[in-house]
Every structure is written in C-alpha cells, then in structure tokens.
Amino acid sequence: MRRVVFIILIALFVTSCAKNPFSTRDSEPPTAEAGTFITPTTPQIVLENLRLCYSELVIGNFVQSLDSDFVFTYDFLPGVPTDSGWGFKQELNLTEKMFNDFSATKSERSLRVTFIAQPGQPDIILDSTATLVRSYTVIVADSSGQMSSSYQGVVRFEMIESAFNFWAIRSWSDLHLNLDTPSWAELKNAYQ
C-alpha cells in the first residue's frame, strides 16, 4: 500500500512540474529585419530589389538578386592597374563589408540608389535573358539627409531567368559618367 501511495505521489509531482515534452515550442523572434523583397518575376523587379537592399542594408536580399555565375566588371578605377572586375564570392564579401559598415553607423549615414532608364536604350527581354541599361546615382547621406558623397555612372545589367521563372543578375557592368565623377565601382572597391 505504501508503495502505491508513493508511486502516485511521485506521478502527481512529476506531472504537475514538468512541461509536456511532446508539445511544440514557441519560435524565437527574428534576429534581424528581413527587409523588403519582391518576388523577381520581371527584370525590372530585380532592380527594385537591388535599390531596396542597398537602402535597407539587407545582404540576404542582395544575394537573392545575383545569379551564382555573377560577374561584376568596370571600365576603370583610379589607382588600380589592370584588374577590371570580380566574381560572385568577391562581390558578396565586399557588399557585406559595406552593408556592415553602414549598419554600424546607420544613425550617422545612409545609402540611397536611384536608377533612370536611358533614352534610346530600351530594355531587351528575350525568353530567358534580359539586358537593362540604366544611369544611376548612389548617394551617401549624413544623418540630416544631406549628401556627403555621390557616385554616378551607367550600368548594364545582363539578367537570366532561373528556376521558378525568377530573374537574377548574371553580369553587372559599371561605366563612368565622365572622368571627374566617381562611379559605383569606386564605392565598392573601397571595401575590398
């Protein structure tokens, strides 16, 4: 009899103190903001995602905008000898450094990108490839919104339609607007 009472008391104690080991757990809250990402069903949406990931500094969304065979090329960089570009891994590394740098000083400065369609350069969209040419301005602004530096040029994006009919940038060619105006490649190169 004592043994039965003892077992019942232990069972009551265990069931009153223990959580249900078979219940589902609550999920952890996200550690970072996901930012804005629009499903890239057209090449133009890829450019909007690129603009958004630069202003929101979300590297995950940036990665989704690039094809795994991505190549970045540029016309020239002052003080850099013959190298004229880099691939996916290097682009990801330097963009992550840039986003981390701007995130660390987000209260002091921000990035803003604008694209403008080029007159006489219509978008060429074929079955699974596209070419978009845009002039751009990348503005680094201080906390009051005042421009502290500006980068301008013309960019040519070669895109590819990948799985699930989503578009991604395969090739990004950056050209200076003129010899006196720094280009996007110069901003990127500062993070190598």
* The residue to which tokens 């190169």 are assigned: 189
Task: Find tokens 């795994």 and name the residue.
Answer: 68
How far, in Å, CA of 89 to CA of 85, rounded?
A: 12
17 three-class SS = helix
For the chain, list the domains and their CATH numbers: 37-189 (3.10.450.50)
Q: Specify the pLDDT at position 54.
A: 95
Q: Cα-flanking dihedrals φ and ψ of residue 46, to 5°?
A: -60, -40
The pLDDT score that the predictor gives to residue 6 is 67
Q: Do 175 and 121 form a contact (C-beta atoms < 8 A)?
A: no
Phi, psi (degrees; rounded to nearest 5) at 22: -100, 0
Long-range CB contacts (< 8 A, 24+ apart) of 133-141?
A: 133/157, 134/47, 135/177, 136/184, 137/113, 138/54, 138/111, 138/112, 138/113, 138/184, 138/187, 139/111, 139/112, 139/113, 139/114, 140/109, 140/110, 140/111, 140/187, 141/109, 141/110, 141/111, 141/112
pLDDT tens for the chain, 192 residues long, are 677 666 776 766 656 655 655 566 666 665 556 789 999 999 999 999 999 999 999 999 999 999 999 999 999 887 777 678 999 999 999 999 999 999 998 888 889 999 999 999 999 999 999 999 999 999 999 887 788 899 999 999 999 998 789 999 999 999 998 889 999 999 998 998
**Residues 95 and 62 sit within 8 Å (Cβ to Cβ):** yes
Structure tokens at 157: 């994006």
